[in-house]
């Protein structure tokens, strides 16, 4: 069996726990992750400040009781600086506003492996670089904390000039609420996080969108009504229930909550979609992630990624399924 020794479920006390109480935690960005992580750390008793442009996010942070600074000043004040702004803009903001202003010996925390793994952000040698990448959407990080529960994170250590990286990492995870019931920290790396995160998006998550569309085309051509198709696929919320059962019971174990007819259909027909060619495709995508081809396409080539992104969104909106979905959601009072 593969080793699962890298899964840490219990916090081990260490000497940094006292040190962190005297540190200023600076959260750059007050969006999905920024707000939740800032509130969790504050409620765990740490001194937290926010760095953000002076707009509605900053206003929200003030309402939540934080002192808000512009990004340059926040970076100057922080002993531990969390970079919680979108991945694709991190490099330009870091290079101009954060990197040159970090205190000597500061700690920099990423929530994803992307920019550090690809070397897009290069960090001074005196800075300790850590990764705490939640496997949980932003509001969930706050929601489980308020329910006194934990959540899973992938963690990693980059630069570690003072060799305190592991203790700092574990202490911050503990303060974020990671080690409460149901949570864990998986000792990982910037590379692994980048691979598993992007590979999901480049394989089954993306494929699911287009498989749903193919299903819609076939079923409506055969006379099924758009409402029945959309509710069947995702509109009813059953899909979310299946995902929750996978999390709680396991991928195949949850099958037992479906009818026997359903299980028979899934087990006999499902494998037909995953031939060797599909595995080859997943491997090709994995290589494009690891060798940086995808990252260059998305973030480096003169806005190319954004142009394609906008075009594909526009095209997606024109599909008849999209129009039917909007109509249905209006009738159901969701819009
Ligand atoms: P958001 O999109 O929610 O970030 C919004 C924040 O970024 C706002 O404070 C916004 O402030 C700021 N921001 C946006 N553009 C700029 C800019 N040009 N200059 C300065 N600030 C800017 O980010 P997420 O929370 O989704 O992601 C943050 C990190 O967390 C990423 O590394 C991501 O990969 C990681 N992550 C995210 C998860 C998620 O659930 N979303 C899950 C796990 C990891 P303003 O617009 O006012 O400038």
Tell me the per-residue pLDDT of 94-122, one tens digit each, with 9 for 90 and over.
Answer: 999 999 999 999 999 999 999 999 999 99
Tell me the per-residue pLDDT of 182-193, one tens digit each, with 9 for 90 and over.
Answer: 999 999 999 999
Tell me the per-residue pLDDT of 166-220, one tens digit each, with 9 for 90 and over.
Answer: 999 999 999 999 999 999 999 999 999 999 999 999 999 999 999 999 999 999 9
Given a cut of 80, whether residue 159 has pLDDT beyond it is yes
- Ligand 1 atom closest to the CA of 115, numbered from 1: 32
d(CA 71, CA 96): 10
Per-residue model confidence (pLDDT) at position 193: 98
The DSSP element (H or E) to which 128 belongs, if any, is: strand 128-134
Tell me the per-residue pLDDT of 47-100, one tens digit each, with 9 for 90 and over.
Answer: 999 999 999 999 999 999 999 999 999 999 999 999 999 998 999 999 999 999
Which residue among 49, 83, 84 is best mutated to probe the pocket of ligand 1, counting the most ligand atoms within 8 A of its Cβ?
A: 84
Phi, psi of 30 (to 5 degrees): -125, 45
The DSSP element (H or E) to which 80 belongs, if any, is: strand 80-83
**Predicted TM-score of the model (pTM):** 0.94
Place of tokens 């749903």: 212
202 Cα distance to chain centroid: 14
The structural domains of the chain, with segments of one domain joined by +, span: 4-188, 192-331
Per-residue model confidence (pLDDT) at position 151: 97
pLDDT band for position 1 (50/70/90)? low
Ligand 1 neighbours by CB, cut-off 6 Å:
29-34, 52-53, 55, 57, 84-87, 89, 93, 111-112, 133-134, 137-138
The highest-level CATH class for domain 4-188 is alpha beta
Per-residue model confidence (pLDDT) at position 112: 98
Q: How far is CA 284 from CA 130, 203, 278, 289, 302, in A?
A: 29, 10, 10, 9, 24
Tell me the per-residue pLDDT of 10-48, one tens digit each, with 9 for 90 and over.
Answer: 998 999 999 999 999 999 999 999 999 999 999 999 999
Tell me the per-residue pLDDT of 322-333, one tens digit each, with 9 for 90 and over.
Answer: 999 999 999 999
Place of tokens 């002076």: 54
Tell me the per-residue pLDDT of 232-273, one tens digit each, with 9 for 90 and over.
Answer: 999 999 999 999 999 999 999 999 999 999 999 999 999 999
d(CA 115, CA 90): 8
Per-residue model confidence (pLDDT) at position 14: 95
Neighbours of 164 (CB within 10 A): 18
Closest C-alpha residue for ligand 1 atom 5: 31
Longest dimension (CA), the chain: 67
d(CA 211, CA 135): 25
- Which of 168, 129, 120 has its CA nearest to residue 300? 120
- Give the pair of three-digit tokens for residue 54: 């002076």
| Beta-bridge partner residues of 110 | 83, 131
Torsion angle (degrees, nearest 10) of CA 138, 140, 145, 148:
-170
DSSP string, 296-334: IIIIISTTHHHHHHHHHHHHHHHSHHHHHHHHHHHHTT-
């Amino acid at each position: 069996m593969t080793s699962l020794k890298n899964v840490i479920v219990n916090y081990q006390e260490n000497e940094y726990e006292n040190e962190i109480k005297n540190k200023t935690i600076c959260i750059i960005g007050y969006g999905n992750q920024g707000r939740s992580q800032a509130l969790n750390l504050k409620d765990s008793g740490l001194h937290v400040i926010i760095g953000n442009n002076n707009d509605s996010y900053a206003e929200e942070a003030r309402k939540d009781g934080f002192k808000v600074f512009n990004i340059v000043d926040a970076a100057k004040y922080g002993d531990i600086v969390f970079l919680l702004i979108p991945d694709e803009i991190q490099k330009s903001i870091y290079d101009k506003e954060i990197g040159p202003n970090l205190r000597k010996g500061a700690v920099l925390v990423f929530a994803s492996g992307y920019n550090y793994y690809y070397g897009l952000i290069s960090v001074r040698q005196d800075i300790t670089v850590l990764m705490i990448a939640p496997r949980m959407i932003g509001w969930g990080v706050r929601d489980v904390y308020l329910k006194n529960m934990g959540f899973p994170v992938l963690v990693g250590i980059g630069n570690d000039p003072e060799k305190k990286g592991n203790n700092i990492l574990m202490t911050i995870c503990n303060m974020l609420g990671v080690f409460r019931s149901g949570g864990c920290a998986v000792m990982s790396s910037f590379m692994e996080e980048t691979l598993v995160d992007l590979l999901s998006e480049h394989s089954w998550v993306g494929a699911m969108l287009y498989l749903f569309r193919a299903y819609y085309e076939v079923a409506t051509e055969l006379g099924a009504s758009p409402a029945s198709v959309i509710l069947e696929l995702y509109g009813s919320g059953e899909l979310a229930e299946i995902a929750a059962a996978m999390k709680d019971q396991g991928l195949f174990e949850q099958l037992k909550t479906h009818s026997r007819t359903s299980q028979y259909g899934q087990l006999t027909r499902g494998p037909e979609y995953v031939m060797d060619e599909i595995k080859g495709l997943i491997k090709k995508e994995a290589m494009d992630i690891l060798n940086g081809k995808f990252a260059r396409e998305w973030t480096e080539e003169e806005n190319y990624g954004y142009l394609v992104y906008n075009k594909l969104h526009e095209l997606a909106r024109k599909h008849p399924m999209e129009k039917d979905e909007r109509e249905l959601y209006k009738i159901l009072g969701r819009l």
